[in-house]
Structure 1
Amino acid sequence: MTGGTVDEESSYKPQRRCSVVYYGVGHMLNDITSACWFTYLLVFLTEIGLPPSEAAIVMLSGQIADGFTTIFAGELIDRYGHFKIWHGAGSILVAVSFSSVFGGCLPCKIMGSNSSSTQTLGYSFFAAIFNVGWAATQVSHMSMVNCITLNSTSRVVLASCRNAFTMVANLSLYVVAFVVFSFSSSGSVMEVENQYRWIAYSSIFIGCCFVGVFLFGTEEPRLKREAREKGHARISWTYWFKKILYYQVALVYVLTRLVANISQAFLAFFVINDLQMSQSSKALVPAVIYICSFIVSILLQEITWSGQRLKIIYSAGGLLWIVSGAGILFLPSSMKAFVYVLSTVIGVANALMTVSGVSMQSFLVGEDLNGCAFVYGSLSFLDKILCGLALSFLESRQSSVPMMQNCHSSNIHFSVTRYGLGLFPAICALVGVLVTLSMELLEPASLMDPLLPA
């Protein structure tokens, strides 16, 4: 048997557990900073005095930079590879710029001005830099899945493991946030900035430790390197545009990210403003969500996957989110404790939708390795732009909504926050389920392999 045949056969073998773990921790810095970004950025900016409309501009500037970087990075990675170089460089940008956003307005200190326009400009600049680095890390990390192995089941396991460590990253953030919010005051602007500065620096330290594990524990994907050395032609963009499955997977992925990101961005507003809960609940309620997501993600790794099973699991998650969205929309502040029940359901729904939604991309790519970065980059581009526009639209209307303390506690106040956290994600989940049910996912023979060897 030739060496090439041996390599090809070994590419279809299930991944070892240590390899799966090394890969899974590679997105920890992105995940922990992303959790802080979507959960606390808008809250942080409004608490230090920035108007909601200008806070929305900061968020949108980052999302636009992220979206266009995914296209740029995807194209260059498809051409030249070097996944780990892109990952390492992106991680450096993330660490430096993230500390500059939550560490205070550096341009304001340089220019000696704390005007609203100067703050918006300063925060928007570092928000853009942060998202450039975040996108480079994300595209390189996601593209590696299809180049590490040709085994479809192993690809789903890698995606599931990454999602499990996403939950670990989020839980780490909320543990830090819970401690900070419980033991420090937030009366003045300086005290608020100190709170979030501690959260940001702790997040960067935790994330960078795991980036080091990833870079030292993984190798540059052999399949991608061999494909380039053998002169395999890079797949044209038009190849994907001719596939109906590309549009279906793109829509499902974008809707899944909208559900997760929009709900996460408005969760802190909901528990503080609408339900009148304590400051520590800004960390405790999201933590419940991610504990449940983590447990479900671990359980999903033990499933033998097929295209039909992916569709069923995604649909189950979508239906759970529809129920949760209705509960959030009509939950009165007098029943605030029930939010923990809803958080449990949301955590399960997020895990089911995220793992299956991301895994659908591997079914789309198949063995077309020389175009996988474009797939992940283009889908992420749509995700970032649409998330940015949706968040900007909803957040810019926050100022026109009266606070909950003006309402009787037994009444339901239909705020923009409730629509953003409950109604909008529920609609996205419903559309995602309908699109998923219309898909035709091919059944690779390798799906019948065991998930992980001992």
Structure 2
Amino acid sequence: MGRVVAAGGGAAAAGGGGDDGERCAQNACETMPLLSRLRRAAPRDGDGGGGDGNEGRLSLGLRFAYGLGHVFNDVCAAMWFSYTLLFLQVVLGMPPILAGSMLLIGQVTDALATPVVGVLSDKKGSRKLWHLAGTGLVLISFPLIFSPCPGCDRDTPTLMALYYAAIISVFQIGWAVVQISHLAIIPDLTEDQEKRAGLTAIRYTASVCSSVAVYVITWCVFHVTRNSMFDSIGPEDAYKFRNIVLITTAIGLAASAYFHFGLKAHNLKPKVNTQTAGLDSLKKSSIASYFKSPLLFQVSFLHVASRLFLTISLVYMPLYLNETYGEDSEILALVPLVSYIASFAASLGIKYINNSWGSKTTYFIGAVISTFGCVWIRYGTGGAHGRGNVYGASILLGGGSSVTMVTSLCITAELIGTHTHNGAFVYSIVTFADKLFNGIAVMVIEDLKCSSQELCPHYYRDVLAYVCGGSAILGVLVLATMTYLSGATKILTSPTENDPESKNPDVTTALTHEVT
């Protein structure tokens, strides 16, 4: 569930968005900043409302309708990463290892469903029909995740785990269906790369607004329902999460309805199968070449390290706040909100730094910022004097994670280079690895948790400090190996006389793509 500009193209590729998805990811990492993309995407005088390739124009209303198509997913993702473990453990009383396994089940289901949905949606049915079906699954399942299990209690943890595992699986499948179908609509709306980049930017802006809205709504609910100055989260607060979910679901459902009414079938060009036998042969040979190079695995580990930092900080920040400042429920919404705003602000400057100093230097800067945030969490927060410091640390965590996450996707796009016919394969490998490792990491962290808070009173503080800090350092180490190897590594072999496809220089090209 990525929510960055470059992630848009990456997810599209992984789920069957094709070459267009990879090019969107590449464009998002190049020269044009997000706000500039939005301005370039605005309709010119005389623009119409069609969406039929290079000939037609994309009206403002059509762009707006498209941008709202992923809002339901975005509000669900913000709740999923920030408050699922908090709700399962603190409100429902689910044992930590079972709560962690719920997140693992969700991540693995998402990883497996994404490519399957991509292939099927390319072959069967319309994009809007798939989007509608996915929205229905999310609508049915998402509110149930943050509702008490009927007939379950703290004495029946296995029954509770089975119930939520089924609900979460349905939710993740629906989420993947909406994500992939929405991304795949971009190339169906227009063939123009600049317009596609503009749609990606609009989609990202809607995602940012959705996430901010979730944290604001959460703060409002906690503030209005606060009983005293010292109001900690507990089993009696299930209704608060229910109210938050009902409000966010209503917003997401309204946005999805506008998307379906505002985006007409005639705006979408029919799906065309452009594969040829020669291209299929090229894909097979060049994919084998990818596996022969260490750079694919280096890029995958770099992305895993970046995503691990982001996921752990999102998931465990509310638990850390509840552990350290449990008497103040409002801080559970305010600190994630500040962190998210910092990540958005940082994303606006990444393009400039990337263009001036290159992807590696940009990633290193982000990792250093992230590490300082972890050190601040470990030594500068806690107690009365640390309440203000936690906001400063959250700014560093949010800004640093944004830089490393977006830059890792840019490096992935650079790995693909002009070989967009392999983009779906590369993104599938990278995103599957990050979802699997993140799910396993959460379950291991929950398994290692002490049975009583008195035995390890600062457990979640140490998780943020050491696990997030370790993942930032891991990213730098992987980056160092890429610096050493990339200059001498060829991802794809040069044309040879033994390969009949290599006779055409436009079909197979040597990729000595050094990551800048």
Bin the TM-score by the shorter chain: 0.7 to 0.9
User: Shift in Å at residue 91 of structure 1?
Assistant: 2.9
Instruction: Kindly indicate whether the alpha-carbon contact (under 8 Å) linking 1:297 and 1:355 is maintained by their aligned counterparts in 2.
Output: yes
User: Which residue in the other structure is 2:345 paired with?
Assistant: 295
User: Which residue in the other structure is 1:174 paired with?
Assistant: 215
Residue in structure 2 matching 1:328, options 377, 390, 401: 377
User: Which residue in the other structure is 2:402 paired with?
Assistant: 351
Q: Helix, strand or coil: the match of 2:358?
A: helix
Instruction: Kindly indicate whether the alpha-carbon contact (under 8 Å) linking 1:70 and 1:139 is maintained by their aligned counterparts in 2.
Output: yes
User: Which residue in the other structure is 1:393 paired with?
Assistant: 444
Q: TM-score, normalising length from structure 2?
A: 0.69
Residue in structure 2 matching 1:57, options 89, 97, 101: 101
CA deviation string 1:304-331 (max 9, x = no partner): 9659633333322221101111111223
User: Which residue in the other structure is 2:86 paired with?
Assistant: 43
Please tell me the residue identity of whatever aligns with 1:96: I
Instruction: Kindly indicate whether the alpha-carbon contact (under 8 Å) linking 2:72 and 2:251 is maintained by their aligned counterparts in 1.
Output: yes
Residue in structure 1 matching 2:70, options 17, 23, 27: 27
CA deviation string 1:396-439 (max 9, x = no partner): 23343524xx9xxxxxx773312321211222222223434626
Cα gap change, 1:151 to 1:159, in 2 (>3 Å): same
CA deviation string 1:171-208 (max 9, x = no partner): 11111111111222588977422111111122222233
CA deviation string 1:261-293 (max 9, x = no partner): 111111111112134451110001001011122
User: Shift in Å at residue 127 of structure 1?
Assistant: 1.0
User: Which residue in the other structure is 2:20 paired with?
Assistant: none
User: Which residue in the other structure is 2:289 paired with?
Assistant: 242
Q: Does 2:317 correspond to 1:317?
A: no
Cα gap change, 1:139 to 1:304, in 2 (>3 Å): farther
Instruction: Kindly indicate whether the alpha-carbon contact (under 8 Å) linking 1:73 and 1:377 is maintained by their aligned counterparts in 2.
Output: no
Cα gap change, 1:433 to 1:382, in 2 (>3 Å): same
CA deviation string 1:56-94 (max 9, x = no partner): 222222222122212322444566695554444323322
Where in structure 1 are there 5+ consecutive unaligned residues? 1-10, 407-412, 443-454
Cα gap change, 1:127 to 1:213, in 2 (>3 Å): same
Structure of greater Rg: 2
Residue in structure 2 matching 1:433, options 473, 476, 486: 476
User: Shift in Å at residue 236 of structure 1?
Assistant: 4.3
User: Which residue in the other structure is 1:280 paired with?
Assistant: 330
Instruction: Kindly indicate whether the alpha-carbon contact (under 8 Å) linking 1:44 and 1:192 is maintained by their aligned counterparts in 2.
Output: no
* Fraction of identical pairs, as percent: 25
**Rounded Cα–Cα distance in structure 2 between residues aligned with 1:289 and 1:227:** 43
**Rounded Cα–Cα distance in structure 1 between residues aligned with 2:449 and 2:402:** 29
User: Which residue in the other structure is 2:225 paired with?
Assistant: 184
CA deviation string 1:33-67 (max 9, x = no partner): 11211211111111222222222222222222122
Counterparts of 1:127-138 in structure 2 under 5 Å? 127-138=168-179
Instruction: Kindly indicate whether the alpha-carbon contact (under 8 Å) linking 1:144 and 1:221 is maintained by their aligned counterparts in 2.
Output: no
User: Which residue in the other structure is 2:502 paired with?
Assistant: none
CA deviation string 1:96-120 (max 9, x = no partner): 21111113325x37xx997222211
Residue in structure 2 matching 1:376, options 427, 451, 457: 427
Q: Helix, strand or coil: the match of 1:376?
A: helix
User: Which residue in the other structure is 2:462 paired with?
Assistant: 419
**Rounded Cα–Cα distance in structure 2 between residues aligned with 1:426 and 1:146:** 39
User: Shift in Å at residue 131 of structure 1?
Assistant: 1.3
The two structures, once aligned, show a CA RMSD in angstroms of 4.0
**Rounded Cα–Cα distance in structure 2 between residues aligned with 1:294 and 1:343:** 13
Instruction: Kindly indicate whether the alpha-carbon contact (under 8 Å) linking 2:133 and 2:174 is maintained by their aligned counterparts in 1.
Output: yes
Q: Does 2:117 correspond to 1:73?
A: yes
Instruction: Kindly indicate whether the alpha-carbon contact (under 8 Å) linking 1:153 and 1:305 is maintained by their aligned counterparts in 2.
Output: no
Please tell me the residue identity of whatever aligns with 2:299: V
Residue in structure 2 matching 1:195, options 236, 240, 263: 240
User: Which residue in the other structure is 1:126 paired with?
Assistant: 167
User: Shift in Å at residue 140 of structure 1?
Assistant: 4.4
User: Which residue in the other structure is 2:302 paired with?
Assistant: 252
Q: Helix, strand or coil: the match of 1:242?
A: helix
User: Shift in Å at residue 300 of structure 1?
Assistant: 4.8
User: Shift in Å at residue 351 of structure 1?
Assistant: 2.3
Residue in structure 2 matching 1:208, options 253, 258, 281: 253
Please tell me the residue identity of whatever aligns with 1:255: A
User: Which residue in the other structure is 2:48 paired with?
Assistant: none
Cα gap change, 1:191 to 1:396, in 2 (>3 Å): same
Q: Helix, strand or coil: the match of 1:333?
A: coil
Instruction: Kindly indicate whether the alpha-carbon contact (under 8 Å) linking 2:93 and 2:235 is maintained by their aligned counterparts in 1.
Output: no
Residue in structure 2 matching 1:99, options 117, 122, 143: 143
Q: TM-score, normalising length from structure 1?
A: 0.77
**Rounded Cα–Cα distance in structure 2 between residues aligned with 1:307 and 1:154:** 25
Instruction: Kindly indicate whether the alpha-carbon contact (under 8 Å) linking 2:339 and 2:398 is maintained by their aligned counterparts in 1.
Output: yes
Cα gap change, 1:28 to 1:345, in 2 (>3 Å): same
Please tell me the residue identity of whatever aligns with 2:211: N
Q: Helix, strand or coil: the match of 2:248?
A: helix
**Rounded Cα–Cα distance in structure 1 between residues aligned with 2:195 and 2:325:** 43
Instruction: Kindly indicate whether the alpha-carbon contact (under 8 Å) linking 2:41 and 2:198 is maintained by their aligned counterparts in 1.
Output: no
User: Which residue in the other structure is 1:266 paired with?
Assistant: 316
Residue in structure 2 matching 1:165, options 187, 193, 206: 206
User: Shift in Å at residue 147 of structure 1?
Assistant: 7.9
Relative to its length, the structure with more helix (as a share) is: 1
User: Which residue in the other structure is 2:274 paired with?
Assistant: 228
User: Shift in Å at residue 390 of structure 1?
Assistant: 0.6
**Rounded Cα–Cα distance in structure 2 between residues aligned with 1:147 and 1:238:** 29
User: Which residue in the other structure is 2:41 paired with?
Assistant: 16
Moved more, 128-137 or 303-312: 303-312
User: Shift in Å at residue 22 of structure 1?
Assistant: 5.9
Instruction: Kindly indicate whether the alpha-carbon contact (under 8 Å) linking 1:71 and 1:381 is maintained by their aligned counterparts in 2.
Output: no
CA deviation string 1:378-403 (max 9, x = no partner): 33322221111111111223343524
Cα gap change, 1:188 to 1:169, in 2 (>3 Å): closer
User: Which residue in the other structure is 1:446 paired with?
Assistant: none
Higher RCO (Cα < 8 Å, 6 or more apart) = 1
